[in-house]
Amino acid sequence: MSESDPSTGLSSDSVKQFAADLRRLRLAADNPKYSRLQSETGVSRSVLSEAFAGRQLPSARTVDGIVRVCGGDVDRWHDRRDALARGGTPLLDADPPVAPAPRATVPRRTAVLLAVGSFALGVTLSAAAAALVPPNLPPPASDTVKAVARTGEDPGATPCVDDAAVATSQTRADNTLLEIIWSDKCRAGWGRITRYDGLGDGNTVTVVIYPETAPDGPDRQEATEHDVQGAYTNLIVRPSPDTLLCAEGSFTVDGDVIDLGDPICI
């Protein structure tokens, strides 16, 4: 289904199809980078990645921002999203606030309420996904492995998001959620951190993922984002079936660094 004819009929549409068409719209607009999308929409990288992944229906604000930047028909995309929403699709109701931009500002009280409201949803979805995905993922049969991604790539720009799922997650200090996302198709994972204290403004979040055998080696991926509620790393393709991937994180509050403790591994 192409963006030029986004359907509003639930019988022929789905959240996964909606996300696939959003990815095609982005490609048709010369594939703007996440940094540009974040800057021009006021939506965080982590929420943008979730919108393109297709695991749940993005908010109207997120859809509006992506479609405007990519030159799509905003009204038709809104109609399509609303039709999916009326069909009972789970909504990603709250986009974590990012640095205020001229076209999109979120009052501090509103940001706190949105963050708290999204906490239960985020933990529920993460726990459910973690229950479905074993923490130690076995290697697939050799004839099913496809080299569709490389270490260091943004997962949102690869096919890895098509089957991505939370492999393991833990709630740490101040209800901060630390996760490893895994794509069996790519045999690759990436780290993600989400804070639910509403104190993103003026502070940072940092998440790191690395092979357990080489924590400071060349495959180590790290992301630090300012004035946001969440961040994710670039991906690591698992170097061998028995190599664990480990993630750790931290965040700041008024300049003080809060370390999230021991890493989680898959």
Helices (H) and strands (E) in the chain, counts: 6, 10
CB 94, CB 59: distance < 8 Å:
yes
pLDDT digits (tens, 9 = 90+) for 162-204: 888 999 999 998 889 999 999 998 999 999 999 988 888 899 9
**pLDDT score for 250:** 95
Render pLDDT for 203-249 as a digit per residue (tens, 0 to 9).
999 999 999 999 999 999 999 999 888 899 999 999 898 999 999 99
Confidence band of 50 (pLDDT split at 50, 70, 90) = confident
pTM of the model: 0.50
pLDDT digits (tens, 9 = 90+) for 69-84: 999 999 999 999 999 9
The candidate with the shortest Cα–Cα distance to 209, out of 171, 248, 239, 179, is 248
pLDDT category of residue 257 using cuts at 50, 70 and 90: very high
pLDDT at 64 over 70: yes
Say whether pLDDT at 121 is over 50: no
Please give the share of the chain, as a percent, with pLDDT higher than 70: 73
Domains of the chain: 10-86 (1.10.260.40), 108-265 (no CATH)
User: Between residues 69 and 156, which one has the greater pLDDT?
Assistant: 69
pLDDT band for 86, please (50, 70, 90 cuts).
Answer: confident
Give the whole-angstrom CA distance, residue 164 versus residue 155.
9
**CB of 231 closer than 8 Å to CB of 145:** no
Among 106-115, 127-136, 146-155, 165-174, the minimum mean pLDDT is found in: 106-115
Q: Which residues pair with 168 in a beta bridge?
A: 180
Q: Which residue has the higher pLDDT, 152 or 102?
A: 152
Count the helix, strand and coil residues of the chain and give each as a percent rounded to the nearest 5.
35, 25, 40
Confidence bin at 39 (pLDDT 50/70/90)? confident
Beta strands 264-265; 245-253: pairing state: antiparallel
Mean pLDDT over the full length of the chain: 78
